[in-house]
Chain A
Amino acid sequence: MAQQVMDASAVLDAPLVMGKPSLAEVTSSVSGIVERKPPRAWYIAITVSGAFTLVLAAMLGYLVTTGVGVWGNNQPVGWAWDITNFVFWIGIGHAGTLISAILFLLRQRWRTSINRAAEAMTLFAVMCAGIYPLFHVGRPWRAYWLLPLPNADLGMWPNFKSPLLWDVFAVSTYATVSALFWYVGMIPDLATLRDRAKDKIRRFAYGLLSLGWRGSARHWRHYEMAYLLLAGLSTPLVVSVHSIVSFDFAVAVIPGWHTTIFPPYFVAGAIFSGFAMVVTLMVLARKVYRLEHLITLRHLDNMAKVMLATGMIVGYAYAVEFFTAFFSGNPFERFVFLNRATGPYAWAVWTMVFCNVVVPQIFWFQRARTSIPVLFVASILINVGMWFERFVIIVTSLHRDFLPSSWGYFRPTAVDVLTFMGSIGLFLTLFLLFVRFLPMIAMFEVKSMLASSHPHREAEK
């Protein structure tokens, strides 16, 4: 694949599907990935990510049997890598939902070749995220007490005033709806795989999963309605879920947390990091599976623009927070920001600023937006920056708050690091399994974009 550099108008006018493939060619491009033996890269990748997943299991086992003390959390930093990773993963998930649902409602047809993989990424990200609230508690075997199950013995519900409880609802709703949305959306493609399946096991499995899809007009009508409803349901989640996650901090009294800008700031940040993850994964997948004609430079260009826009919002939020803190005259607030910029964690703060504010600026340039190496490196740096953003918010606000006698310092332990790397391993393992066994591009949606599908319209625009 040669690096294609195009000028601005060329990109906007470029077809969303390159090379004018036929319907059958689209089907075989995508289904072939599932039906063929995976390339060697896949085996190498899943061995590595599988190993890290085992490390995750081991670390979690160690954590549960020994205690939260195996991490670096302390007094005053009660939350550190655990909640940073939680917000990081949940944030990543938002891109998928935005691409699937919001771009659907806004009729942005360029979403069709990336939405399936992005939605899968959301689901896996939410699974990785969910590990943390469950395991970061001191007594994980009692974590079910956060669920509002009627309890005659206790005679009371959990505390609905707590943002952590709102998280329970928000994240479980998000996981449920995302799973449904993703699955329902896949049914026609699963049916395709069922119809093409050569061996019995595949036919049975895909048959079961495709729920008897025949592709009849009635089926399609139901499908469209269901998909629309689910899209409508998912859309507010893009805004609400991360807003609620941001309430974990915004509702607290701690300076650096207690600010109303968090919900929009977090949502923008989530979309920002989510798109960056999608770009990272898609850049790799399209190369390995030769899908450059379906996931084109125009797609990448659009995603880069979203990253630029959301990155600017995030950068603006940094500036506004800083300004507000000083303008407020509140000495505790002022100090938090001064401490961020010049205190013991300044290195984390400036990494964050560089990765989140400076790096996306490159996407003003169309050459950068369509350059694969730039996209790959920038998307990774953006995710690094977004991880540091959560780390900065959580740890720098906690480590020096109101009473200087309680000021402390947080240092991660090996278990913190390995648990996080393990969660990345889990995420990649799940994603690799998805790529291996499920259609990673929404074939029927892409096919609906081909010129041959719309003889009376210039559908490829």
Chain B
Amino acid sequence: MKLTGKQYWRSLDQLAQSPRFLEWLHREFPAGASEWTSGSSRRQMLKLMAASFGLAGLTACRRPEERILPASSASEEMAPGVPLYYATIFTLGGVATGLLVESHDGRPTKIEGNPNHPSSLGGTSPYAQASVLSLYDPARSQRVLRNGRASSWEEFEKFAAEHFDPQRIGYGRGLRFLSESYNSPSLDAIREHILRRFPQAQWAEHDPLAQEQAAAGARLAFKDNLIPVYQFENADVVVSLDADFLGMDAPTMAAIRQFAKRRQLLEPGGAMNRLYAIESRHTMTGAAADHRLRLAPGAIRLFAETLARELGLAIPSSGAEPTLSEQARKWAAVLARDLNRNRGRALVLAGPRQPAEVHALTHWINQTLEAAGRTVVYRKPPASPPSITLAQLAGQMAAGQVETLVILGGNPAFTAPADLDFPALFGKVNHTIRLGLEEDETSAACRWHLPQAHFLESWGDGRALDGTASIQQPLIQPLFGGRTASELLALISGYKDRRGYDIVRNYWFSRWPAAQAEKIWRKALHDGVIPDTRFPEAKPSVDVTSVTTALRSAPPPAPARSDRLEAAFFPGWACWDGRFANNGWLQEAPEPMTRLTWDNAALLSPATAAELGLRDGDVVEIASSAGRAQMPVLVQPGHADHCISLSVGYGRNRCGPVGRNVGFDAYRLRSAQSPWIAGGITLRKTGARHKLALTQDHHSMEGRAIVLEAALAEWRQNPGLFQAAGHHTHESLALYKERTYETGYQWAMSIDLNACVGCGACVLACQAENNIPIVGKQQVLRGREMHWIRVDRYFEGPPEAPRAVTQPVNCMQCEDAPCENVCPVAATTHSPEGLNDMVYNRCVGTRYCSNNCPYKVRRFNFLNFHKDLSETGKMVFNPDVTVRMRGVMEKCTYCVQRIEEKRIQANREGRRAIRDGEIVTACQQACPAEAIVFGNMNDPASRVAQLRNSSRRYQLLAELNTKPRTTYLARVRNLNPELG
């Protein structure tokens, strides 16, 4: 923590003027207060009082020097203990999502979505939630390395001044830049400046998960770089072709909200959308779908063509149609009819794995269905500066044409397609300079490693999918001396601005009228969005010839067989492309459909596993055209036959201690030509076994009424269906007079199973908010994970093609809680507002409460899970929540700290009532689908009271008479009677 004297004075100076400080001064030093007015004696006094300032905690202030603007209050004044919220953005996969970050005492502790931002609408992804932990990760790069030895920014600046002289460097003839995907206008400006200064230089972008095929498909169909922005809330029928748009392929979290909005019926009379999912792996989208068809990824193209033909499009025949199953052909016909019935309200989309032709085909289909402007809006981004592909760069490196390579972010040595053999090419480049968050595989191959600033420490900007731009403001000064990509490029290229703040600010000021610029800037910082920056809407028409030519020239792949499997590549659940491997929260958060933690596995169907003689945990060697890799297999019900699903990003070996050698590297199997779907895969049993830590071992509801589910038509016929379901409900036969809860606030929660897609953002939000520890793979194997909320996932129906349902389960806060009776020391009691209070300091840890909880929501600290915390690691804790010690039980508290915070606020504002929607629990706030609603059930106008009146509402295990305050809205599927 570097604090120069300059910073010290400046921050104190700011504070010295504030009335609060003056009041403190008069109280503590009445004699000295009078001398305060004179400038020099003030400095003298401040020098003397340095010690007490230290004690007051002011020296711990690491707020950025520049003015950052909180979203939550008009002034930047920081009162200890009162958090401020700042708007910023988090960019992943080249798309920015707006966030509101909670800052306690000058350090960010919790991330929320920004309701103003079109990518978020209030919700967040698990990655956004967990990224605050990455900020404080001590394994992050903390130093500059030169040839593997510690160096400094000063040394690099000296080197750069000499090396990046335009003449000396041949005007960029051997200069190449390789960056991860980004979407930053100010960075674009620097890039253009660089290409002017070094005209021969070239820029390459590499993102292993970039949706290049989708972009290529749009270019194919429209002869233009258009971005389809799907308007799910306008769609009555959605067909997803291998597009996990509710899960790992989600274009934005807002897509989940828009889609869920059309499913959250309270009464049977409403209209509900319908989702068909055609996919190989059982994804969250497949779980949410009303109908699901499993097809190998290569076969989905044939399905798309068949569907298009049913819709009357002239698709050339490839001769491979008979390889499509009877069921799939029937589906195509039925879906075509349904789509036709819903013209203007229908949408077909394809996922990133599908080749460009399929994407082009879906654009053509959507045009036929009159989707443009209604269920999909095409936006035209500005032309991007010229760039080359990674493959081209690799070719140049191999030919020795690259002298200087500057790598900005990403981890290309790890993520590049295996057949490029990228790590070996570094030796052919004289000067390799790498800016990275971690000292990773790429840093090991480069001469210079420079620490990158985390997004929470950075000034920057970014665009949402539809082009809406936002300023990224830091919440804390770089903890480890990192700098942003913009700052590095500015340094190298002699850009007019050097600091990130100046770069961003001056860029945007140059775009606004001078008189209003300051005002717009402040509003943009406050709101988190810059108005009027959305890309213009385009009204394109599909170039049919181009599409049919592409289809003809790219024959569909041969169908998969057990000796010639297909592999589909997916982002790694915990690490995305590998960048989050050292994030323990993500590693321990179970993958929604497999419930796997701390590992990845090759997924395959039960039938294929049986055919190949494989069981869960058997290690196989997988061979593709690009290479070989070993990995354990995991059987997934509903997976398509003769194909495997691989998750990239795992198996990193140059990584912090948390993520090192966790999982298995699937990048080794990825080729540059077909990075998303690979055919001709073979599997060979190695005989080894690998223990897989799943948080849920049992996947069937065993006929129990846990997730209540019915067809929409059934519910319409019998609205009381869900209340009557379940086992033997009866009136209460209580011995004692039952307590009624008619007065005061009575907190309750409603979880809509039709909206929940199982993304797991709630799990991470709860972990961040409540200081929940991670326990590691060994402890997860023993069954001791600590998550207060979990998302259960059940499969129902035939094992080859089951339906999946997800159900978030947190403490039900039962009115008649079985846990309360059995605690011998009364460490768990009932509050007058209906909460089951867990009193940590009274708990001796008998664990009877956990044994007696039928929902198994209680978590015990079996060991000291907070051992060996780093100095920075401690900074992520939420100071409003106790950190529990070993031997103590803990569980969901309905975020009682937030309830109390709002109560205090309401009291301060003159004893007014707490309004509905003021108190938002962490899980509720993070949920992109708005599936979780918390509020006062005694307030008839509150949302939760309305939801409790819905005929979809039911209690989990109602027959036990626990009277849970958390109730569920049953799952309803809008079935197409033609598909049965």
**B interface, size bucket:** 35 or more
Of the candidates B699, B818, B825, B864, the one whose C-beta lies within 8 Å of that of A252 is B818
**A interface, size bucket:** 35 or more
- Evaluate whether A404 and B698 lie within 8 angstroms (CB atoms) in the complex, with A74-B782, A75-B784, A331-B704 already known: yes
Contact between B957 and A137, CB atoms less than 8 A apart? no
Contact between A405 and B698, CB atoms less than 8 A apart? yes
- Evaluate whether A139 and B887 lie within 8 angstroms (CB atoms) in the complex, with A74-B782, A74-B784 already known: yes
Closest to A253 in B: B818
Contact between B703 and A331, CB atoms less than 8 A apart? yes
Of the candidates B704, B885, B886, the one whose C-beta lies within 8 Å of that of A404 is B704
State which of B628-636, B838-846, B893-901, B968-976 sits at the interface with chain A. Answer: B838-846
Interface SS, A side: loop
Extra contacts, 11 of them, besides A74-B783, A408-B697 (Cβ < 8 A), are A68-B862, A68-B863, A78-B847, A78-B850, A79-B847, A138-B844, A146-B824, A162-B848, A164-B846, A168-B824, A253-B818
Kindly provide the distance from the CB of A461 to the nearest chain B CB, expressed in whole angstroms.
49
Contact between A403 and B826, CB atoms less than 8 A apart? no
Q: A401 an interface residue at 8 Å Cβ cutoff? A: yes
Q: How far is the CA of A70 from the CA of B778 in the complex (A)?
A: 12
Closest to A399 in B: B783
Kindly provide the distance from the CB of B198 to the nearest chain A CB, expressed in whole angstroms.
58
Q: A43 an interface residue at 8 Å Cβ cutoff? A: no
Q: How far is the CA of A79 from the CA of B818 in the complex (A)?
A: 17
Q: Find residues 153-200 in chain B having any chain A CB closer than 8 Å to their own CB.
A: none
Q: How far is the CA of A402 from the CA of B851 in the complex (A)?
A: 11
Q: How far is the CA of A161 from the CA of B820 in the complex (A)?
A: 9
Q: How far is the CA of A408 from the CA of B783 in the complex (A)?
A: 7
Q: A275 an interface residue at 8 Å Cβ cutoff? A: no
Q: How far is the CA of A78 from the CA of B698 in the complex (A)?
A: 19
Contact between A137 and B844, CB atoms less than 8 A apart? yes
Q: List 8 A-B contacts (CB under 8 A).
A: A68-B887, A79-B847, A136-B847, A139-B845, A159-B823, A402-B854, A405-B794, A405-B807
Residues of chain B whose beta carbon lies under 8 Å from any beta carbon of chain A: 696-704, 706, 727-728, 779, 782-785, 790, 792-794, 807, 809, 818, 821-826, 842-848, 850-852, 854-856, 858-864, 885-889, 957, 960
Q: A76 an interface residue at 8 Å Cβ cutoff? A: yes
Interface SS, B side: loop
Total contacts A-B at CB 8 Å? 173
Q: Which A-B residue pairs are the 3 nearest by beta carbons? A: A138-B845, A138-B887, A69-B862
Q: A365 an interface residue at 8 Å Cβ cutoff? A: no
Kindly provide the distance from the CB of B725 to the nearest chain A CB, expressed in whole angstroms.
13
Q: How far is the CA of A165 from the CA of B825 in the complex (A)?
A: 8
Residues of A within 8 A of B783 (CB): 74-77, 408-409
Residues of chain A whose beta carbon lies under 8 Å from any beta carbon of chain B: 66-70, 72-79, 133, 136-140, 142-143, 145-146, 156, 158-159, 161-165, 168, 248, 251-254, 330-332, 335, 398, 400-409, 411
Residues of A within 8 A of B823 (CB): 159, 162
Of the candidates A66, A70, A398, A405, the one whose C-beta lies within 8 Å of that of B696 is A405
Residues of B within 8 A of A411 (CB): 782
Contact between A158 and B825, CB atoms less than 8 A apart? yes
Q: Which residue, of A137, A158, A161, has the highest number of chain B Cβ atoms within 10 A? A: A137
Contact between A137 and B887, CB atoms less than 8 A apart? yes
- Evaluate whether A159 and B825 lie within 8 angstroms (CB atoms) in the complex, with A143-B844, A404-B702, A405-B790 already known: yes
Kindly provide the distance from the CB of A63 to the nearest chain B CB, expressed in whole angstroms.
11
Residues of B within 8 A of A72 (CB): 782
Kindly provide the distance from the CB of B654 to the nearest chain A CB, expressed in whole angstroms.
31
Contact between A75 and B864, CB atoms less than 8 A apart? no
Kindly provide the distance from the CB of B95 to the nearest chain A CB, expressed in whole angstroms.
33
- Evaluate whether A403 and B821 lie within 8 angstroms (CB atoms) in the complex, with A67-B864, A76-B783, A137-B887 already known: no
Contact between B704 and A252, CB atoms less than 8 A apart? no
Contact between A136 and B846, CB atoms less than 8 A apart? yes
Contact between A78 and B887, CB atoms less than 8 A apart? no
Contact between B842 and A145, CB atoms less than 8 A apart? yes
Closest to B782 in A: A74
Q: How far is the CA of A67 from the CA of B794 in the complex (A)?
A: 33
- Evaluate whether A138 and B886 lie within 8 angstroms (CB atoms) in the complex, with A75-B784, A253-B960, A402-B704 already known: yes
- Evaluate whether A68 and B698 lie within 8 angstroms (CB atoms) in the complex, with A74-B784, A159-B825 already known: no
Contact between A253 and B784, CB atoms less than 8 A apart? no
Contact between A404 and B887, CB atoms less than 8 A apart? no
Q: How far is the CA of A252 from the CA of B697 in the complex (A)?
A: 24
- Evaluate whether A402 and B855 lie within 8 angstroms (CB atoms) in the complex, with A138-B886, A158-B826 already known: yes
Of the candidates A137, A140, A162, the one whose C-beta lies within 8 Å of that of B822 is A162
Q: How far is the CA of A156 from the CA of B842 in the complex (A)?
A: 12
Contact between B888 and A73, CB atoms less than 8 A apart? no
Residues of B within 8 A of A143 (CB): 844
Kindly provide the distance from the CB of B699 to the nearest chain A CB, expressed in whole angstroms.
8
Residues of A within 8 A of B850 (CB): 75-76, 78
Residues of A within 8 A of B821 (CB): 159, 161-162, 251
Q: Which residue, of B779, B822, B957, has the highest number of chain A Cβ atoms within 10 A? A: B822
Contact between B825 and A146, CB atoms less than 8 A apart? yes
Q: How far is the CA of A163 from the CA of B786 in the complex (A)?
A: 27
Q: How far is the CA of A51 from the CA of B700 in the complex (A)?
A: 48
Residues of A within 8 A of B889 (CB): 138
Contact between A139 and B888, CB atoms less than 8 A apart? yes
Q: How far is the CA of A66 from the CA of B861 in the complex (A)?
A: 11
Contact between B826 and A137, CB atoms less than 8 A apart? no
Kindly provide the distance from the CB of A446 to the nearest chain B CB, expressed in whole angstroms.
43
Q: How far is the CA of A43 from the CA of B280 in the complex (A)?
A: 70
Kindly provide the distance from the CB of B343 to the nearest chain A CB, expressed in whole angstroms.
41
Q: How far is the CA of A136 from the CA of B846 in the complex (A)?
A: 7
Contact between A138 and B697, CB atoms less than 8 A apart? no
Contact between B855 and A403, CB atoms less than 8 A apart? yes
Contact between B825 and A75, CB atoms less than 8 A apart? no
Closest to B706 in A: A403
Q: How far is the CA of A145 from the CA of B826 in the complex (A)?
A: 10
Closest to A255 in B: B854
Q: How far is the CA of A69 from the CA of B848 in the complex (A)?
A: 16
Closest to B841 in A: A142
Q: How far is the CA of A407 from the CA of B783 in the complex (A)?
A: 10
Of the candidates B703, B728, B824, B862, the one whose C-beta lies within 8 Å of that of A158 is B824
Q: How far is the CA of A179 from the CA of B696 in the complex (A)?
A: 48
Q: How far is the CA of A158 from the CA of B727 in the complex (A)?
A: 35
Contact between B957 and A145, CB atoms less than 8 A apart? no
Of the candidates A66, A69, A137, A254, the one whose C-beta lies within 8 Å of that of B784 is A69
Residues of B within 8 A of A161 (CB): 821-822
Residues of B within 8 A of A73 (CB): 847, 862
Residues of B within 8 A of A158 (CB): 824-826
Contact between A75 and B887, CB atoms less than 8 A apart? no
Residues of A within 8 A of B860 (CB): 68, 75, 78, 138
Closest to B697 in A: A407
Q: Which residue, of A77, A162, A330, A331, has the highest number of chain B Cβ atoms within 10 A? A: A162
Contact between B824 and A162, CB atoms less than 8 A apart? yes
Kindly provide the distance from the CB of A76 to the nearest chain B CB, expressed in whole angstroms.
5
Contact between A405 and B851, CB atoms less than 8 A apart? no
Residues of A within 8 A of B702 (CB): 335, 404
Contact between B704 and A67, CB atoms less than 8 A apart? no
Residues of A within 8 A of B794 (CB): 404-405
Kindly provide the distance from the CB of B552 to the nearest chain A CB, expressed in whole angstroms.
49
Contact between A252 and B782, CB atoms less than 8 A apart? no
- Evaluate whether A331 and B727 lie within 8 angstroms (CB atoms) in the complex, with A67-B864, A253-B852 already known: yes
Q: How far is the CA of A69 from the CA of B784 in the complex (A)?
A: 9
Closest to A76 in B: B856
Q: How far is the CA of A78 from the CA of B862 in the complex (A)?
A: 10
Residues of B within 8 A of A142 (CB): 844
Contact between A139 and B792, CB atoms less than 8 A apart? no
- Evaluate whether A401 and B861 lie within 8 angstroms (CB atoms) in the complex, with A68-B845, A146-B844, A162-B824 already known: no
Of the candidates B728, B792, B844, the one whose C-beta lies within 8 Å of that of A145 is B844
Residues of A within 8 A of B858 (CB): 75
- Evaluate whether A164 and B824 lie within 8 angstroms (CB atoms) in the complex, with A139-B845, A404-B794 already known: yes
Kindly provide the distance from the CB of B786 to the nearest chain A CB, expressed in whole angstroms.
9
Q: How far is the CA of A138 from the CA of B856 in the complex (A)?
A: 18
Q: Which residue, of B699, B864, B886, has the highest number of chain A Cβ atoms within 10 A? A: B886
